[in-house]
Structure 1
Amino acid sequence: MAATLVCAGAVRAQERPIDADKIILVGDSTTSVGSGWGGAFCDRHVLSSLACVNLGRQGRSTSTYRAEGSWDLALNEMATPGYGAVWVLIQFGHNDAKFEDASRYTDPVGDYPAFLQRYVQLARDKGATPVLVTPVARLLYDFGSLLDTHGRYTQSMKALAAREQIALIDLNDRSMRWVRALGEEGARPYFLFVPEQGKADGTHFSVAGAHAVACLVLREAVPLLPALQPQLVRDIDCDVVAEGQGSDPALPSQVVHEDSVVRTQAGPHGGAGPTTAYPFFADAEGLPFVLRKRVLHKGAGIGLHPQHKDEIYYIVSGQGSYVLDGRQYDVHAGHALLTRKGSHHALQQVGEEDLVVLLVYPR
């Protein structure tokens, strides 16, 4: 019996869980659950094995967050034993700038950096790694230009980070570029603009906006905290190029409607007709592939022919009979058909409904 107990104890000792890392989010409503990016950050962007604690609080500044005791909660989280690396992301500025509210306002060159420096030092004293995050942009335009409503606070935080060698995520810059790339109207769905509810809030985020900003934060965090990379559950390919580094004006991006390119054609490769073709971007210079939509009306088809380059058909709607290298397939909406160079294929519309196909192949 004693031997059995010893063995069981040894097994339990070997099965002790590994130390998990922890990330703590400290900030105002633009970080908090419900109105900020922090909820999406913790819930949908990192593994559940990473302890992610969102302590963002609505309406707080660097001054009131500490005065009310929220910072003490963050310190307790940092001091909790049993974790590996502990990172603290600190974002303030929205409410610090409210000059009309003496309880929250902090001077951008006085109290604001002093409070931030105190947060950083206390976090370091607990063995945590602090990361300063400049305040996220508001959706606020004036005469067609996006306003930087946090300028002095952003500059103050960046100066502190450089002076004290504190890791910094310049979310203000990244998010302003993001909003500019979307444009004033294009950015509205990412903020709380809900006309039917009378909401016009350019500070807080919709679900889509929270995910987008969380991605911007993580894209900047990973180079600073490389151990985060294997703990992500989503891609962070959400960067926005700097102004002046967009597409080549000689090769412009485009949006077209199919009505502008529609034409009636006989069935290609000896197929029966009629068909309706939509050759999208046929005149786009430098485009390495062809994208077409073809509608095979009743009785129409694409005749049997050898394929001289790889080609993909995607069935959007309708039914058809597809032949590939002598084998027949019944195809319908959702089927994707890859024909490689050297194969033979043909497609015939079946039934009463038009057969609608997307075609993609290299030029």
Structure 2
Amino acid sequence: MRTLYIAGDSTAAQKYADAAPETGWGMALPFFLHRDVAVANHAVNGRSTKSFLDEGRLDTVLTAIRPGDVLLIQFGHNDQKITDPTRYTEPWTSYQDNLRRYVAGARERGALPVLATSVERRKFDAGGTALRTLGDYPAAMRAVAREESVDLLDVQELSLALWQKLGPETTKTYFNWTPTEQDNTHFNPPGAIAVARLVAAELLRTGVLAPRDTRRLDDEIPAGWITWPDADPEETGP
């Protein structure tokens, strides 16, 4: 069995019952992959390329990863946090340097690194045009992908096009809008499923995965397939 590891932030991360209906797209990705491709979702809320490294999380992934596995790397939202030195990176220097560490670590272990630009937030101008919110980070990642000959999933552009197609009102049904919260960054089940579908289709398009590795790319996936475990093992301990 081949394993696809996800290193990323809250947009991809596993969510638990206390956060429902918030849903990371990594929770929905297995719906689009054959059972012979396992998903190991190491994405964690609030992490940047820097904090994920500093906390030893990349080391944990690289200890487990095996030749032939895939390491999907998606960061940017929290690298933007210029007032937080534990997370902030400058897009054209430290951010790129960190991405190269992820790429090199995967390759040293015979695994395939894949870079994915960050999924766009829900933001529209007064005329209903979906806006980019991620600064230079997607462009900086694209440059690393070119320079290092790494497969790139351009999730930013694909998600921006999807939000534009859906429009300001319909996109509210994809993001974590609840009676008490208007969250334009994180997803509910339909949004996570939609983004996971984009990711799976890009994995197929780039040749990272073969047609036999994917499924249901054109099928409707019920939101009820998403479930939330009771508790985060990192929080509860052994």
Please state which band the TM-score falls in when normalised by the shorter chain.
0.7 to 0.9
Letter in 2 for 1:224: T
In structure 1, distance between residues paired with 2:113 and 2:176: 30
- Given the two structures, how large is their TM-score scaled by the length of structure 1? 0.56
Q: Which residue of 1 aligns with 2:26?
A: 38
1:125 aligns with 2:108: yes
**Where in structure 1 are there 5+ consecutive unaligned residues?**
1-19, 239-363
Give me the whole-angstrom Cα distance separating, in 2, the residues matched to 1:124 and 1:236: 32
Question: What residue identity is the alignment partner of 1:67?
Answer: D
* 1:191 maps to 2:178: no
Change (3 A) 1:226 1:66: closer
CA contact (8 A) 2:6 2:73 kept: yes
Residue in 1 that maps onto 2:235: none
Contact 1:40 1:210 in 2 (8 A): yes
Alpha-carbon separation, structure 2, partners of 1:236 and 1:62: 33
The yes-or-no answer on 1:176 pairing with 2:166 is no
Query: Paired residues, what number?
Result: 212
Say whether residues 1:50 and 2:37 are aligned partners. Answer: yes
Greater share of helix residues, 1 or 2?
2
Alignment equivalent of 2:87, drawn from 77, 101, 104: 104
Read off the aligned partner of 1:41 and give its amino acid letter. Answer: L
Shift of 1:77: 2.0
The answer on 1:235 being equivalent to 2:217 is: yes
Task: Write out aligned runs for 1:145-224 (5 A).
Answer: 145-194=129-178, 196=179, 198-224=180-206
2:33–2:200 CA contact under 8 A, matched in 1: no
Check the 8 A contact 1:219/1:237 in 2, yes or no.
no
In 2, the alpha carbon distance for the partners of 1:119 and 1:227 equals: 20
Amino acid in the other structure paired with 1:89: L
Contact 1:96 1:104 in 2 (8 A): yes
The structure with more radius of gyration: 1
Cα separation, partners in 2 of 1:237 and 1:223, compared to 1, 3 Å: farther
Amino acid at match of 1:211: I
- Mapped partners of 1:102, 1:152: distance in 2: 18
The answer for the alignment partner of 1:78 in structure 2 is 65
Q: Is the 8 A contact 1:87 1:131 kept in 2?
A: yes
Distance 1:177 1:122, change over 3 A: same
Alignment of 1:1-363 (within 5 A): 20-34=1-15, 35-42=23-30, 44-79=31-66, 85-144=68-127, 145-194=129-178, 196=179, 198-225=180-207, 227-236=209-218
**Which structure 2 residue ranges, 5 or more long, are not aligned?**
16-22, 221-238
Q: TM-score, normalised by structure 2?
A: 0.85
Q: Provide the C-alpha distance between the structure 1 equivalents of 2:219 and 2:187, rounded to a whole number of angstroms.
A: 20
Cα distance, 1:236 vs structure 2: 4.4
- Percent identical across equivalent pairs? 37
Deviating beyond 4 angstroms after TM superposition, the runs of 4 or more aligned structure 1 residues are none
- Distance in 2, matches of 1:236 and 1:69, equals 38
Secondary structure of residue in 2 paired with 1:22: strand
Report deviation, 1:231: 2.2
Deviation at 1:227, TM superposition (A): 3.8
Q: Which has the higher contact order (CA 8 A, sep 6+)?
A: 2
Q: Separation in 2 of the partners of 1:168 and 1:49?
A: 23
| Structure 1 contact 218–236 (Cα < 8 Å) conserved | no
Residues 14-60 of structure 1: CA deviation (Å, up to 9, x unaligned): xxxxxx11111110001111232001002x22223322110110000
The DSSP-based 3-state class of the residue aligned with 1:192 is strand
Q: CA deviation at 1:104?
A: 0.6
- Contact 2:49–2:99 under 8 Å retained in 1: yes
Aligned-pair distance for 1:190? 0.5
Letter in 1 for 2:215: V
For the residue of structure 1 that corresponds to 2:65, the secondary structure is helix
Aligned-pair distance for 1:211?
Answer: 0.6
Shift of residue 70, structure 1, vs aligned partner: 1.0
Please give the secondary structure, in 2, of the residue aligned with 1:32.
coil
Task: Check conservation: 1:62, 1:115, Cα contact below 8 A.
Answer: yes
